[in-house]
């Protein structure tokens, strides 16, 4: 169901309200009523909890899963408990709506998102003295002058001056991303379905069955994740996550990615698998075979002068090629629409010859569109906010990081919206927020430009600016998707993001400071190794040396993949639909190049299940595939909370199950 209106008619607000009351019976409170005091209190509590979990994961493994579904579930649990208890005490209680539930989830995600994009496990502690010493004073380009130790004051100040810009950068494109491109944002979709299931009328038979289905697969996913934990041991090679397959990469039995495969379009899942096969099946083994010629043999797995450098920069090339092509296309279409004086697009109408069920579904979609577009954020407000915040940040950041001159800060804010679009577009396709990848672009570019006199600190600071903008922009767009599916106002989503970001600017540094003062952060033999700190500092040092320090042929390979991404996108646009639907998506192909191939088979398993299901029983697949996917994602997501708590208390899995080759005589 699209958003085009072939008859070029408008639906009046009166018609929408009348029909919505008759057909779908969904009460939509004003946007101000969707934001409540109790919701903000619960958001602050959950935001603190999730910041602790994120810091824990950031400082140990460096990989942060999406906690959107857990935020939606726990938000419902806390407020529902609150209202039930208050009612029993005789107090008047305002009904708990799906919109309030969505606002809480949005606020929590904005808060704990800064624990990741704030760089507390990456660029921020890459500046500290311990990381400098771990790399070694004799390492070329590693200078004692390029050290800035964490301090609560400057960290909170830095968070406030950089974290809000991403919220204003892509607000004008929310309609394009959610309605026109119809990007799935799998975690946002799963969260919306979970929230809707909590607030469904008990009389809706299908909704009840969907809730039952979601609960069943949520329980199965949770139990399976718990079962996997017992065999995951202490080493990197333990557990089901390292089950070898196809002789090229590992299958990790993750319910989250199988669920993503059920939600994402088939072409996205196939593109991810294709990217995994090309990179880990052919390209990386081919480059690894030239170790000692193209790059020094025996380098660490995270050394940018070796194979890791190829992985990072080839992935960046594909991502930029795809993202920039689509950005240019959107700008061109927008200009064309403006020139044709068709800036106000009508909502879709219902065809007169539709059956009752189809008519009801179309009307529900119209109400979603109307709700999403009604309380919009004016473009002038978004642009003014971005410019004003950029001006404040441009004046402030050089005070915190002197090597980062004001004109470098200003330059980063000029190019940041384009990168924010690329990241939001990729997140909508695959659920991967690649903020750290775009941060690496900032490191390399600014460290290269500034050079040896402060280039390391400036590059890491630029990384912080880039990561904050692209990450918060992607989180906001994901939450817009959730809000769209739960009939929540875009304005309430935006305001709750602002409030959650303000909370995160204080809570994220404070919770990190607890870890920093209580544990030996960065100790390679301790529990909090902060593995990405050394990687980020070494990249900044490499940036100071310039592109000439990249491994042999790396730049040429990157150019090939960048041009390939442009050509593939062009072919998708110029070929007939019956052909273009089988052309892969470069953005999706790029994810396994850098992240790894372990999730590619999971997503492909999900798409195969859905494909077979659609052939055997199309109606059942349409009704329940989303519930199954959401249950799988939710169960695995919820397990991250008890697993992180076990880890904080240093309770390790009791068994290490290892897969290796059979012994031969």
Arithmetic mean of pLDDT, 107-132:
91
Name residue 249's beta-bridge partners: 245
The tokens for 98 are: 């799906």
pLDDT of 141 over the 90 cut: no
pLDDT at 463: 92
pLDDT confidence tier of residue 1, bands split at 50, 70 and 90: very low
Dist. CA 355–CA 374, nearest whole Å = 28
Arithmetic mean of pLDDT, 567-576:
91
Is 257 part of a structural domain of the chain? yes
Please report, for residues 281, 284, 441, the alpha-carbon distance to residue 547 in angstroms, rounded to integers and kept in the order given: 27, 20, 12
Arithmetic mean of pLDDT, 241-254:
63
Q: Which of 177, 35, 192, 53 is nearest to 113 (CA)?
A: 53
Arithmetic mean of pLDDT, 433-441:
81
Contact yes or no for 587/430 (Cβ under 8 A) = yes
DSSP letters for 515-565: HHHHS-TT-TTSS---HHHHHHHHHHHHHHH-GGGSPTTHHHHHHHHHHHH
Q: What is the pLDDT of residues 596-611, one digit of tens each?
A: 777 788 889 999 999 9
How many separate domains does the chain show? 1
pLDDT at 26: 62
pLDDT of 299 over the 90 cut: no
pLDDT of 220 over the 50 cut: yes
Least confident window among 112-126, 194-208, 257-271, 366-380? 194-208
Arithmetic mean of pLDDT, 368-383:
82
Average pLDDT of the chain is 81
Dist. CA 441–CA 461, nearest whole Å = 12
Arithmetic mean of pLDDT, 2-26:
35
DSSP letters for 215-264: HHHHHHHHHHHHHHHHTB-SSTTBSGGGEEETTTEEE---HHHHHHHHHS
pLDDT confidence tier of residue 94, bands split at 50, 70 and 90: confident
pLDDT at 37: 92
More confident call, 60 vs 18:
60
More confident call, 154 vs 592:
154
pLDDT at 195: 85
Q: What is the pLDDT of residues 173-190, one digit of tens each?
A: 888 888 877 888 888 888
DSSP, res 584: P
pLDDT of 20 over the 60 cut: no
More confident call, 300 vs 349:
300
Is 42 part of a structural domain of the chain? yes
Name residue 244's beta-bridge partners: 250
pLDDT of 370 over the 50 cut: yes
pLDDT confidence tier of residue 5, bands split at 50, 70 and 90: very low
pLDDT at 11: 26
| Domain interval for residue 120 | 37-338+375-649
Burial track 344-357 (b if 16+ CB lie within 10 A, e otherwise): ebbbbbbeeeeeee
Dist. CA 640–CA 66, nearest whole Å = 10
- What is the Cα gyration radius of the chain? 25
Arithmetic mean of pLDDT, 410-430:
86
Dist. CA 652–CA 649, nearest whole Å = 9
Is 4 part of a structural domain of the chain? no
In the numeric block, the tokens 């304005």 are attached to 491
More confident call, 218 vs 371:
218
Dist. CA 450–CA 462, nearest whole Å = 11
Dist. CA 18–CA 37, nearest whole Å = 31
pLDDT at 248: 52
Burial track 545-577 (b if 16+ CB lie within 10 A, e otherwise): beeebbbeebeebbeebbebbbebbeebeeeee
Arithmetic mean of pLDDT, 302-328:
82
Residue 13 buriedness (CB in 10 A; 0-12 / 13-18 / 19+): exposed
Is 354 part of a structural domain of the chain? no
pLDDT of 264 over the 60 cut: yes
Percent of residues, the chain, with pLDDT higher than 90: 26
Helix axes 455-485, 356-374, angle to 10 degrees: 140
Arithmetic mean of pLDDT, 197-211:
64
Is 454 part of a structural domain of the chain? yes
More confident call, 21 vs 36:
36
Dist. CA 228–CA 223, nearest whole Å = 9
Dist. CA 504–CA 111, nearest whole Å = 4
pLDDT at 100: 93
pLDDT confidence tier of residue 557, bands split at 50, 70 and 90: very high
Is 219 part of a structural domain of the chain? yes
Sign of CA dihedral 554, 582, 596, 429: positive
């Amino acid at each position: 169901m699209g958003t085009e209106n072939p008859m070029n008619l408008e639906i009046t607000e009166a018609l929408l309200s009348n029909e919505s009351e008759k057909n779908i019976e969904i009460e939509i409170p004003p946007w101000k009523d969707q934001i409540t005091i109790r919701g903000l209190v619960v958001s602050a509590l959950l935001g603190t909890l999730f910041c602790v979990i994120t810091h824990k994961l950031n400082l140990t493994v460096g990989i942060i899963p999406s906690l959107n579904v857990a935020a939606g579930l726990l938000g419902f649990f806390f407020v529902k408990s609150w209202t039930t208890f208050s009612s029993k005490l005789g107090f008047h209680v305002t009904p708990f709506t799906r919109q309030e539930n969505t606002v809480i989830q949005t606020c929590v995600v904005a808060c704990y998102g800064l624990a990741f994009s704030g760089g507390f496990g990456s660029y921020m502690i890459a500046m500290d003295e311990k990381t400098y010493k771990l790399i070694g004073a004799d390492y070329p380009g590693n200078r004692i002058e390029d050290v800035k130790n964490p301090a609560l004051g400057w960290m909170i100040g830095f968070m406030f001056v950089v974290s809000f810009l991403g919220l204003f950068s892509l607000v004008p494109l929310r309609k394009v991303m959610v309605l026109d491109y119809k990007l799935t944002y799998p975690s946002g979709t799963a969260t919306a379905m979970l929230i809707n299931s909590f607030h469904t009328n008990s009389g809706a038979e299908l909704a009840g069955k969907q809730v039952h289905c979601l609960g069943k697969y949520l329980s199965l996913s949770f139990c399976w994740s718990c079962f996997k934990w017992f065999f995951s041991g202490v080493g990197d090679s333990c557990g089901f996550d390292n089950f070898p397959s196809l002789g090229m990469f590992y299958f990790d039995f993750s319910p989250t990615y199988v669920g993503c495969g059920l939600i994402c379009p088939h072409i996205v899942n196939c593109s991810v698998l294709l990217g995994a096969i090309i990179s880990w099946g052919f390209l990386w083994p081919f480059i690894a075979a030239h170790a000692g010629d193209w790059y020094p043999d025996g380098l660490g797995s995270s050394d940018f002068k070796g194979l890791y450098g190829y992985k990072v920069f080839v992935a960046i090339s594909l991502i930029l090629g795809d993202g920039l092509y689509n950005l240019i296309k959107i700008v061109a279409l927008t200009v064309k629409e403006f020139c044709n004086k068709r800036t106000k697009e009508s909502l879709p109408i219902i065809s007169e010859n539709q059956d009752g069920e189809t008519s009801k579904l179309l009307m529900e979609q119209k109400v979603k569109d109307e709700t999403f577009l009604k309380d919009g954020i004016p473009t002038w407000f978004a642009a003014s906010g971005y410019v004003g915040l950029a001006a404040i940040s441009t004046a402030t950041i050089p005070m915190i990081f002197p090597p980062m001159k004001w004109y470098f800060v200003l330059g980063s804010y000029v190019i940041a919206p384009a990168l924010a679009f690329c990241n939001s577009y990729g997140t909508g396709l695959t659920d991967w927020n690649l903020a750290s990848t775009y941060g690496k672009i900032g490191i390399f570019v600014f460290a290269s430009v500034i050079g040896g006199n402060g280039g390391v600190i400036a590059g890491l600071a630029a990384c912080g600016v880039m990561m904050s903008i692209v990450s918060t922009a992607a989180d906001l767009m994901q939450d817009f998707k959730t809000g769209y599916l739960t009939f929540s106002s875009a304005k309430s989503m935006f305001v709750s993001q602002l409030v959650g970001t303000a909370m995160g600017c204080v809570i994220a540094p404070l919770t990190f400071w607890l870890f920093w003062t209580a544990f030996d952060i960065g100790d390679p033999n301790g529990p909090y190794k902060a593995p990405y700190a050394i990687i980020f500092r070494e990249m900044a040092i490499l940036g100071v040396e310039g592109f000439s320090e990249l491994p042999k042929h790396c730049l040429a390979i990157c150019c090939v993949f960048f041009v390939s991404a442009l050509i593939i996108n062009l072919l998708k646009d110029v070929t007939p639909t019956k052909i273009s639907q089988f052309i892969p998506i470069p953005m999706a192909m790029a994810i396994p190049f850098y992240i790894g191939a372990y999730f590619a088979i999971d997503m492909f398993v999900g798409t195969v299940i859905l494909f077979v299901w659609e052939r055997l029983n199309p109606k059942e697949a349409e009704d329940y595939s989303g519930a199954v996917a959401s249950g799988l994602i939710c169960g695995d997501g919820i397990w991250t909370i008890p697993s992180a708590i076990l880890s904080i208390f240093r309770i390790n899995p009791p068994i290490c199950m290892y897969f290796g080759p059979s012994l031969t005589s």
